[in-house]
Structure 1
Amino acid sequence: MSITIIKNADLYAPESLGLNHLLICHDKITSISKEVIELPNAIEHQVVDLAGAKLVPGFIDAHAHITGGGGEAGFATQVPVLPISEFTSAGVTTVVGLLGTDDTTRSMENMISRVYGLREEGMSAYCWSGGYHYPPRSLMETAKQDMVFLEPVIGIGEFAISDHRSSQPTYQEVIRLASEAHVAGLMTGKAGIVHFHLGDGERKLALLERAIKETEIPARVFNATHVNRNKALFDHACEIIKLGAYIDITAFPESFNKQGYHAYQAINLAVERNLPLNQITISSDGGGCLPQFDACGKLQHMEFGRAQILPDTLYSLVQAGHSLSLALSFITSNVADLLRLSKKGKIAKNMDADLVVLDANYQVTDVMALGKWHKRDGEMCIKGTFA
């Protein structure tokens, strides 16, 4: 069993706790103390002195194309499978994989295999069942069965609405999926939500708003992502969140999303509008294509999501005047609460030892996932099998 003592950490859990010392045993945080922690020399252990550097929870990315996304401009535009270092180098210690537009050549077999591969390499990984289309692509007979019988599957997604690439699902199909996800979540203790991809369609969130108002299904089950892709959609999302839904903001690259808001701008607006900030998460869309289409559905431009956008967004949020604690919550504790990952998203006794060290510019210098260092002093220790 590996044992590590981390000394002199400026601890954000994500709330600011000041200078602390931590004891890590195997994959868990076993002690946090204001007093220096010492062990006898007879017990083999490592001591890491952070000298006052910021120590924060490992980031949780709830929207990443771990098997590679893309393919919307031909087979040559399919993104390759992402190595573990794509995530861990950026401080992501927990990832949730999904299928997108291409749920034909990509499959749940691919997805589950990649989840297990990332776990074997040392990070925490889960996935959604399905993809853009109805009925959802599943490994078993239904997505509900995937959730009930396959441990890594925590919900359904990313299911597309208000997008020309979707199956144009009906209201009845949407609420049926939400019901199945909710019941499967009750049975298993998993997230039990539908992660909805939002396009630029004029209907925006109308299907979800109606479902929340007309059914008994809890609002948290209807989890919309990409809500900052255009300004009218974000305005509608600001109304949905007041009904109890969680919304997911995509951390688009600076060169993308001229019709909408960048993540830090969306958070600025959420604060100004006095929205419940604990119901907001931020994700990277890592490995996914970020396409722009004309009115006829023809692809005009394409970029690809990277996990590195998360620490970059953290920096932008702090530069915009938000506290580090608040900025962190959108990629740590809020995500863990929504996904019901009880050992993730916070630094506390008995939580998973998923830790990130930040430099003065809020960039990632060190990463520990489940008690093992993946990055130390800016250098990757674990790059992945084929990296």
Structure 2
Amino acid sequence: MTVSMPTLQLLRNADVHAPEPLGVQQLLLGGGKVLWIGDALPELPAALPVDTIDLEGRRLIPGLVDGHVHVTGGGGESGFSTRVPAPLLSRYTRAGVTSVVGLLGTDDCARSTRELVASIYALREQGLNAWGYSGGYHLPPTTLTGSVRGDIAFVEPLIGVGEIAISDHRSSQPTLDELLRLASEAHVAGLMTGKAGIVHLHLGDGARGLELVRRALDGSELPARVFNPTHVNRRRALFDEAVELARRGCCIDLTAFPVAEGEDAWSAADAWLRYRDSGAPPAHLTVSSDAGGCLPCFDADGRVCGMDVGESGALLATLNELLARGVTLEQALPAFTSNPARLLRLAGKGQIAVGADADLVALDAQGAACDVFIAGVAHVRAGVVQRRGIFER
């Protein structure tokens, strides 16, 4: 019987940002990992099957880690017809996203954790790295096993709980005791399993802001890292509160949603720059897209008066805006790569290093994802999608 040897890949002339700049390097990929990095071509046996790709000096960055994605689709705030369809595979990969964390939002009634886990497995079968959160906006949280601790402990893709809504008219108006009990469940499950064990908190635009999280930190022994607020740039005063929480040890998440001129909000790029200038810990900041989620606006009675849909492409758009404003790749990249990977305890993600997963994105001169590799498999080559979802044309 003839045994075929798996093909290695040699990426030549890559301008590597790991996120730190390494200069022009050659990379050998195999078995889903980065096997070797060097500035000169390696000596390889002639009989060894190697697929060589010349990146011609393009910038090579770690695959983007999007920590807030509605993989089942979001929405539903204005009737069943407003339920957003689930994004298909290439919507992520064309945007340079190689890892996602899925969650439920307002609709954790018609949509379920069971459906979420099925969607995560479907994305994995198509080659994307995917995990998820137990629960949704409301308490008690929707679960598979009957408890958040059980979900995190026994359902492999589930790494925390979220997005639990606070300071929002759509939330279940959780009390401090309820939040602490939920956070303790997630934290202990994280200790048991080595998973993230965090509470991913949706922040609405309510005046209470992050008061509940401050009270939780002041009145419990739980580590600050357990509380992970997102959408913190949706109000300028809320962002200022979030920066102070980052100083206390929380990791805060910016959402790359559109911001109109004169709106009481910061764009993700504006908020990133303000965070940097604040002197808060750089490692405590992440950026996510809210891809697949509904981005509604409400009137004074809480009724939807308009809506948009989050897109994975918002991450690269934000990254490129930061670069255009004078930020270096080394400074900007961690919030999109290594910081979320560290918070979410995703080993091998968010960096380019020997032994790390071969999740890589080559950027063209305009900052678009020209080449995208997940576990060394090409999903996009020279700007052309190579692997599509089952139901994509």
Fold agreement, TM-score > 0.5: yes
Please list the CA deviations of residues 170-204 of structure 1 after superposition, one character each: whole Å capped at 9, or x if unmatched: 00000111111110000000001000000011110
SS at match of 1:330: helix
User: After superposition, where does 1:117-132 map in structure 2 within 5 Å?
Assistant: 117-132=122-137
Task: Provide the C-alpha distance between the structure 2 equivalents of 1:348 and 1:183, rounded to a whole number of angstroms.
Answer: 31
Distance, in Å, in 2 between the alignment partners of 1:333 and 1:73 is 37
Aligned counterpart for 2:26 among listed residues 21, 28, 31: 21
RMSD: 1.1
- Which residue is equivalent to 1:247? 252
Q: CA deviation at 1:268?
A: 1.1
Distance 2:110 2:318 in 1: 32
Q: Which residue of 2 aligns with 1:34?
A: 39
Matching residue within 11, 17, 29 for 1:12 = 17
Task: After TM superposition, list the pairs within 5 Å mapping 1:58-73 onto structure 2.
Answer: 58-73=63-78
User: Residue 352 of structure 1 corresponds to which residue in structure 2?
Assistant: 357
1:108 paired to 2:125 = no
Relative to 1, partners in 2 of residues 1:136 and 1:8: Cα closer, same or farther, differing over 3 Å?
same
Superposition map of 1:155-170 within 5 A:
155-170=160-175
Q: Tell me the distance in 1 between the aligned counterparts of 2:7 and 2:101.
A: 27
Q: For 1:224, which of 221, 229, 234 is the aligned residue?
A: 229
- The one-letter amino acid of 2:163's match is E
Match of 2:378 among 366, 373, 386: 373
- How big is the shift at 1:33? 0.8
Q: TM-score, normalised by structure 2?
A: 0.97
- Post-superposition Cα deviations, 1:191-238, rounded to whole Å, max 9, x if no partner, equal 010000000111100000111122110000000000000111111111
1:325-381 C-alpha deviation (Å, 9 max, x unpaired): 121111100001100112100000111100000012221111000110000010000
> Which has the higher mean CA deviation after the structures are superposed, 163-172 or 314-323?
314-323
Confirm or deny that 1:136 pairs with 2:141. Answer: yes
Q: How many residues align?
A: 387
Give 1:294 deviation, angstroms. 1.9
Is 2:28 the counterpart of 1:54? no
Contact kept in structure 2, 1:229 and 1:257, CA below 8 Å: no
**TM (normalized to structure 1)?**
0.98
Give the secondary structure class of the aligned counterpart of 1:115: helix
Where structure 1 has 5 or more consecutive residues not aligned to the other structure, the ranges are none
Query: Which residue is equivalent to 2:368?
Result: 363
Q: Is the 8 A contact 1:209 1:240 kept in 2?
A: yes
- State the one-letter code of the partner of 1:227: V
Partner of 1:308: 313
Task: Note the C-alpha offset of 1:38.
Answer: 4.0
Structure 1 Cα separation of the partners of residues 351 and 256 of structure 2: 21
Could you tell me how far 1:257 is from its partner in structure 2? 9.0
For 2:336 and 2:288, the matched residues in 1 are separated by 7
Please report how far the alpha carbon of residue 53 of structure 1 lies from its aligned counterpart in structure 2 after TM superposition: 0.6
- Whether 1:2 and 2:3 are equivalent positions in the alignment is no
Counterpart amino acid of residue 197 in structure 2: G
Q: Any idea what the Cα deviations from partners look like across 1:87-124, whole Å, max 9, x if unmatched? A: 11101000000000000110111111111111110111
1:22, 1:37 within 8 Å by CA — same for their partners in 2?
no
Structure 1: distance between partners of 2:85 and 2:306 = 19
Question: Does the aligned pair in 1 maintain the 2:259–2:265 contact within 8 Å?
Answer: no
- Please give the alpha-carbon distance, in whole angstroms, between the structure 1 residues aligned to 2:351 and 2:292: 26
Distance 1:286 1:346 in 2: 22
CA–CA distance in structure 2, aligned partners of residues 38 and 262 of structure 1: 48
Separation (CA, whole Å) in 1 of partners of 2:189 and 2:261: 36
Q: Secondary structure at the match of 1:368?
A: strand
Question: How has the CA–CA distance of structure 1 residues 197 and 318 changed in structure 2, closer, same or farther, with 3 Å as cutoff?
Answer: same
Q: Name the counterpart of 1:278.
A: 283
CA contact (8 A) 1:208 1:222 kept: yes
CA–CA distance in structure 2, aligned partners of residues 208 and 261 of structure 1: 21
Q: Mind listing any 5+ residue stretches in structure 2 that lack a counterpart? A: 1-5
Q: Is the 8 A contact 2:98 2:374 kept in 1?
A: yes
What is the CA-CA distance between 1:37 and the residue it aligns to? 2.3
User: Which SS does the other structure have where 2:336 is aligned?
Assistant: coil
Letter in 2 for 1:284: S
Percent identity, aligned pairs only, is 51
**In structure 2, C-alpha distance between the alignment counterparts of 1:170 and 1:145, rounded to whole Å:** 22
